[in-house]
Amino acid sequence: MAVYTEVTDEALAGFLADYDIGRMVAFRGIAEGVENSNYSLRTTAGDFILTLYEKRVDPADLPWFLGLMEHLATRGIVCPRPVAARDGAALRQLCDRHAAITTFLPGVWPRRVRVEHCAPVGAALAALHLAGRDYAPVRRNALGPEGWPPLLARCGAGAEAVRPGLGAELEAALASILAAWPTGGEAGLPVGHIHADLFPDNVFFLEGRLSGLIDFYFAATDLLAYDIAVCLNAWCFEADGGLNVTKARALLAGYQGVRALTAAERGALPVLCQGAALRFLLTRLYDWLNTPPGALVTRKDPIEYLRRLRFHLSARDEHAYGL
Amino acid sequence: MAVYTEVTDEALAGFLADYDIGRMVAFRGIAEGVENSNYSLRTTAGDFILTLYEKRVDPADLPWFLGLMEHLATRGIVCPRPVAARDGAALRQLCDRHAAITTFLPGVWPRRVRVEHCAPVGAALAALHLAGRDYAPVRRNALGPEGWPPLLARCGAGAEAVRPGLGAELEAALASILAAWPTGGEAGLPVGHIHADLFPDNVFFLEGRLSGLIDFYFAATDLLAYDIAVCLNAWCFEADGGLNVTKARALLAGYQGVRALTAAERGALPVLCQGAALRFLLTRLYDWLNTPPGALVTRKDPIEYLRRLRFHLSARDEHAYGL
């Protein structure tokens, strides 16, 4: 939950003068979101979100992210659409930050995941994958398998401090996952643009129906099925650490109702899920060790993902996920 | 900036079923506010704020606060108006917290105070004081002079850790302030309901005009002129710690345009300002010493108020404030 950069009213007024979106009516910081500063902005023309991009986002990636959102929105995916200023550019500067205004999406993210959420999430993810097919630019997934060894190395001895034996356990898991990681492309698993962070707080529902997807700032070009593995981790585990197979089955069925998985993708589900669990475990562990006292962000418990990782390591094949 | 209590969508749906305010459209946590959890709530009927009252607020005070807001709103003060559910009650329960829905106010709080803000703030404060006159219930100011000695005692040796000599300096200031503190009532300074926390983040402006006052959860019955002293501290000091007399003069003139100060009130301004500076210094110091690592709240520097306190202690009379 975060507003890292305070925008003065004068700075905001100057910024809005470049747009044709009416006069300001209200402007409030949004508690959700941990990477960037987000404001809810109302003008006489409607509702918008103003995002200031903070240090974790590489400015060189911003045109790719905004281009993807525009591309997806044009193809019927309900996601924030960048709003261009009068000069045609959506990516701008405000308070020494890169900044963009996007459209506001109605809906509420589910604080508690129910089975009924899972099929729509799967279907929306597949629709996103299909809609992204003709977006030509690519973005390497910095938090994909190549990023995990350096991330674990940077956690160093801190892993042991969090839990004795954790360092060795993660080293072993990492080696096993990398050894089994599937290749992508013609001969391997289908590759495309993935959301890569489709957690419940990035999916809105309204009156029981999925009403939008947000936060594309981890999106990248990678194995499509890895995105499903992220969602299985994010949506289908219970508080006690166990997989809810009914939710997993619903999510996978929702996905396959829009895009059928190949046999290779199905077979790779366990290792993809292992990798996804490891990825979130590592970033949470790193944040846990590096969040200063008094920070604005709640640290998320990395151990939650250790339980998921162990489950995935024990999964013999895709049947473990209800397929 | 805070959302302390996560409201699930099912809990919210159940809560809203008791109201006649349409169906839910959007629901987002608001970053501003440090005492309670605030959500921006949009329904098919309009925009509202949902507040969940957290531990610092005494539930016994909530009817008084909501009653005051209703009273003031009815008398033309633009402030959040409690929205009653179908059974007529505005104060309810949600997620094991007391909770209320209030109306949404347009506007933006000024991140950087300009002279032009100060007269409208003074005028709005005076209007609030006049509008509150016929609100019969009273609430003792828990953070008034009687509250300061125990607050300082609870900071204990921590004051020394923040700054060597601070403990002794505050003890001396406290004794001097309490000795000179004016009495209220018929023979003394006018008493009424005060906001007691009218900082810039509690005042909205829209197109250069004051558009609303929010956050009445420190309001109490106390010396009216003490409320002005709070505002002088909150609105009229520059980043270097010095008083901006132009701002102070504007604020006082704005106030007196609506309600003239008595001679006793004018003469008491220095000690009232000393008390107000000490009050915010003490609560900030206490929070500084007691905010756990990883908390959601940014700690505010108490030393900022030490500079103000010293200024007020050196003020010979009301002329120091441009009167």
Judgement on whether residues A85 and A159 belong to the same structural domain of the protein? no
Identify the band that residue A120 occupies on the pLDDT scale cut at 50, 70 and 90.
very high
Question: Which pLDDT score is estimated for B299?
Answer: 67
| Residue A9 CB neighbour total at 10 angstroms | 20
CB contact under 8 A, A31 and B29: yes
The per-residue pLDDT for range A215-239, each reduced to its tens digit, is 999 999 999 999 999 999 999 999 8
pLDDT band at A138 (very low <50, low <70, confident <90, very high): very high
- Same domain? For B89 and B126 the reply is no
Q: Is the dihedral of CA A149, A154, A157, A158 positive or negative?
A: negative
CATH classification at residue A91: 3.30.200.20
At A237 the pLDDT is 96
Instruction: Determine which of A135-149, B27-41, B59-73, B196-210 has the lowest per-residue pLDDT on average.
Output: B27-41
pLDDT of residue B298: 61
Confidence tier at B291 by pLDDT (50, 70, 90): confident
Same domain for B24 and B73: yes
CA atoms of A263 and A276, how far apart (whole Å): 20
User: Which residue would you say has higher pLDDT here, A294 or A212?
Assistant: A212
**Residue A28 forms part of a structural domain:** yes
Q: What is the pLDDT of residues B201-253, one digit of tens each?
A: 999 999 889 999 999 999 999 999 999 999 999 999 998 889 999 999 999 99
CB contact under 8 A, A206 and B25: yes
- pLDDT(B87) > 80: yes
User: Would residue B30 count as lying in a domain?
Assistant: yes
Q: Are both B75 and B120 inside the same structural domain? A: no
Tell whether B146 and B285 lie within a shared domain: yes
Closest residue in chain A to residue B109, using alpha carbons only: A9
Does residue A212 belong to any structural domain of this protein? yes
Neighbours of A66 (CB within 10 A): 21
Domain boundary among B42, B76, B103: B103
Q: B30 to chain A: which residues are within 8 Å by CB? A: 28-31
Residue listed under structure tokens 């059928």: A260
Q: How far apart are the first and last CA of chain A?
A: 36
Answer yes or no: is pLDDT of A299 > 70.
no
Looking at chain B, which residue has its C-alpha nearest residue A28? B30
Q: How far apart are CA A196 and CA A198, in angstroms?
A: 6
Residue range B182-189: average pLDDT? 93
Which domain-ending residue is among B82, B103, B124?
A: B103
Distance from CA of A291 to the nearest CA of B (A): 7
> Is A4 part of a structural domain of the chain?
no
What does the alpha-carbon distance between residue B212 and residue A236 come to, in Å, rounded to a whole number? 44
The tally of domains found in chain B comes to 2
Q: Residue A2: inside a domain, yes or no?
A: no
B55 band by pLDDT with thresholds 50, 70 and 90: confident
Tokens (6 digits) for A223: 């194995």
- Give the pLDDT confidence score for residue B36 in this predicted structure: 87
Quickly state the pLDDT bin for A298 (edges 50, 70, 90).
Answer: low
Q: Domain check: are A119 and A99 in the same one?
A: no
Q: Does ipTM surpass 0.85 in this model?
A: no
Is residue A34 scored above 70 in pLDDT? no
Q: What was the pLDDT predicted at B27?
A: 92
pLDDT for residue B1: 35
- Neighbouring CB atoms inside 10 A of A291's CB total 16
Tell whether B145 and B14 lie within a shared domain.
no
| Stretch A257-284: mean pLDDT | 97
- Return the pLDDT at B2: 52
Q: Is residue B110 part of a domain?
A: no
Residue B31's pLDDT band, with cuts at 50, 70 and 90, is confident
Lowest mean pLDDT among A17-21, B159-163, B178-182: B159-163
Say yes or no: B160 and B20 in one domain.
no
Tokens of A292: 């200063």
The whole-number pLDDT of residue B290 equals 83
Q: Do B128 and B81 share a structural domain? A: no
**Å from A304 to nearest chain B CA?**
18
Per the CB < 8 Å rule, is B9 touching A205?
A: yes
Q: B108 and A299 in contact by Cβ < 8 A? A: no
Cβ B54 vs Cβ B97: under 8 Å = yes
pTM: 0.82
Name the residue in chain A with its Cα closest to that of B44.
Answer: A106
Q: A9 vs B205: CB contact, 8 Å cut-off?
A: yes
Please, what is the average pLDDT of chain A?
93
Q: How confident is the model at residue A292 (pLDDT cuts 50, 70, 90)?
A: low
Domain shared by B141 and B79, yes or no: no
Position B34 pLDDT exceeds 70: no
Q: State which of A72, A103, A134 marks the end of a domain.
A: A103
Percent of chain B with pLDDT over 70: 96
pLDDT at B297: 55
Q: Is residue B131 part of a domain?
A: yes
**pLDDT at position A288:** 87
Using a pLDDT cut of 90, give the percent of chain A over it: 80
DSSP state of B108: B
Q: Spell out which chain A residues touch chain B, with contact meaning CB-CB distance below 8 angstroms.
A: 1-3, 6-10, 12, 23-32, 40, 42, 104-112, 204-207, 291-296, 298-299
Quote the pLDDT of residue B5.
Answer: 74
Closest listed residue to residue A261, CA positions, set A300, A213, A289, A225: A225
CATH number of the domain encompassing residue B127: 3.90.1200.10
In a domain, B211, yes or no: yes
* Helices of type H across chain A: 9-16, 62-74, 115-131, 148-155, 158-162, 166-180, 224-235, 245-256, 263-290, 303-314
Residue A180 has pLDDT above 50, yes or no: yes
Write out the residue range of the structural domain in which residue B303 sits: 115-321
Q: Indicate whether B212 and B86 sit together in one domain.
A: no
User: For the residues B168-181, what does the mean pLDDT come to?
Assistant: 97
Residue B293 has pLDDT above 60, yes or no: no
B82-83/B46-53 β-pairing: unpaired
pLDDT computed for residue A215 by the predictor? 94
Q: Which two tokens stand for residue A44?
A: 């006489």
> Is the sign of the CA dihedral A81, A82, A85, A88 positive or negative?
negative
Residues in chain B: 323
B159 and B98 within one domain? no
The mean per-residue pLDDT over the stretch B301-318 comes to: 94
Q: How far does the CA of residue B151 sit from the closest CA of chain A (Å)?
A: 22
